[in-house]
C-alpha cells in the first residue's frame, strides 16, 4: 500500500525469506503507487527485492505507464477474467528450483465490476495450467467473503492454494479444505498499521462523515508486512499447511 508498504517489503522481505525458508514469493502490487496502481519502476523494485510474481486487481489500470509492461513482463499479472483484448495476461508458469509453479490472478464481481465470471473463466484457466503442473496458486482479488469462500470450495482439489486479496485486512480463517486446497479470505496488506486500510485516518473519517469523496492519501507511519506461508506437496499439488503472519517494520523516519 503506497510507498510505505513498498519500503516495508524492500526492508523485510529478505529476512522473511530466511525465516520461512520460502522458495517462491507472490505479491499483489496493485496499490503500490500512492495507493492506486503500479508503475514500472515499482514493479522492478519489487522483483529486485525478492518477489517472483506480481499479481493485481481492479486498480492495476490507474497508472497508464504500466500497460506496456503488462504485455511484456510474463511475471506481472492482471486478473484473467477481464474482457478479452485488454492489455496483459492473467496467468504464468515459473520454474521454482526445478518445479513448475502456475500462478493465476482472478477478480470477483460482487460489489465490483461486472467482468467475466471468475468461476467459469477460472475453471478453464486452471484446466489449462494443470496440463503443465499440478501446483497452481490463485490470487482472488474480491470484496465479498462469501464469493471468496465459494470460489475456494469450487476449486478445492484442483488448485494448491487460493488466497484472497483486496480488503487490506487480514482474516483469521486460514485452513486446508477437504480436497487439499489451502485458502484464506484475505491475506492483508503491507502498509501503514495506523491508517484506515492504509489511508490517512483524518481523510478516511471525513469521507465517511461528509460523504464527500476527498482524494485519499496514504498514511506514512510504522508499517506491517502481512502474508501467508503455504507448504505444498509438489508431486500431487496438495497443500500441507498454511500459516498467516504479520511483521512490524519501523518507519525510517
Catalytically active residues, by annotation? 59
Q: Is 217 helix (H, G, I), strand (E, B) or coil?
A: coil
Cα gap 122→1, rounded to integer Å: 26
* CA-wise closest residue to 67 among 92, 43, 88: 88
Cα gap 202→215, rounded to integer Å: 12
C-alpha cell at 198: 492504509
Cell 503488462 found at: 70
CB-based burial, 154-169: b 16+ in 10 Å, e otherwise: ebbebbbbbbbbbbbe
Do residues 181 and 160 touch, judged by C-beta distance below 8 A? yes
* CA-wise closest residue to 41 among 10, 86, 15, 82: 10
Q: Is 45 helix (H, G, I), strand (E, B) or coil?
A: helix
Cα gap 169→149, rounded to integer Å: 16
CB-based burial, 57-71: b 16+ in 10 Å, e otherwise: bbbbbbbeebeebbe
Q: How many CB atoms lie within 10 A of CB 6?
A: 23
Amino acid at each position: 500500500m503506497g510507498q510505505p508498504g513498498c519500503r516495508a517489503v524492500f526492508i523485510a522481505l529478505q529476512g522473511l525469506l530466511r525465516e520461512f525458508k520460502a522458495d517462491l514469493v507472490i505479491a499483489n502490487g496493485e496499490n503500490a503507487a500512492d495507493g492506486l496502481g503500479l508503475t514500472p519502476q515499482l514493479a522492478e523494485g519489487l522483483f529486485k527485492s525478492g518477489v517472483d510474481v506480481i499479481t493485481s486487481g481492479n486498480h492495476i489500470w490507474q497508472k497508464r505507464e504500466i500497460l506496456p509492461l503488462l504485455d511484456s513482463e510474463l511475471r506481472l499479472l492482471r486478473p484473467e477474467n477481464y474482457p478479452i483484448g485488454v492489455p496483459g495476461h492473467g496467468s504464468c508458469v515459473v520454474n521454482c528450483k526445478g518445479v513448475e509453479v502456475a500462478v493465476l490472478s482472478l477478480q470477483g464481481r460482487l460489489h465490483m465490476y461486472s467482468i467475466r465470471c471468475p468461476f467459469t473463466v477460472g475453471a478453464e484457466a486452471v484446466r489449462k495450467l494443470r496440463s503443465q503442473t499440478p501446483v497452481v496458486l490463485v490470487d482472488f482479488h474480491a470484496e465479498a467473503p462469501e464469493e471468496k469462500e465459494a470460489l475456494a470450495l469450487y476449486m478445492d482439489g484442483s488448485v494448491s492454494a487460493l488466497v484472497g486479496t483486496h480488503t487490506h485486512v487480514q482474516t483469521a480463517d486460514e485452513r486446508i479444505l477437504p480436497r487439499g486446497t489451502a485458502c484464506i479470505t484475505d491475506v492483508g496488506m503491507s502498509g501503514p498499521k495506523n491508517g484506515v486500510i492504509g489511508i490517512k485516518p483524518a481523510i478516511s473519517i471525513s469521507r465517511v462523515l461528509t460523504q464527500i469523496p476527498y482524494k485519499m492519501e496514504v498514511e506514512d507511519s510504522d508499517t506491517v508486512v502481512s502474508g501467508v506461508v503455504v507448504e505444498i506437496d509438489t508431486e500431487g499439488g496438495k497443500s500441507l499447511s498454511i500459516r498467516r503472519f504479520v511483521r512490524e517494520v519501523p518507519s525510517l523516519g
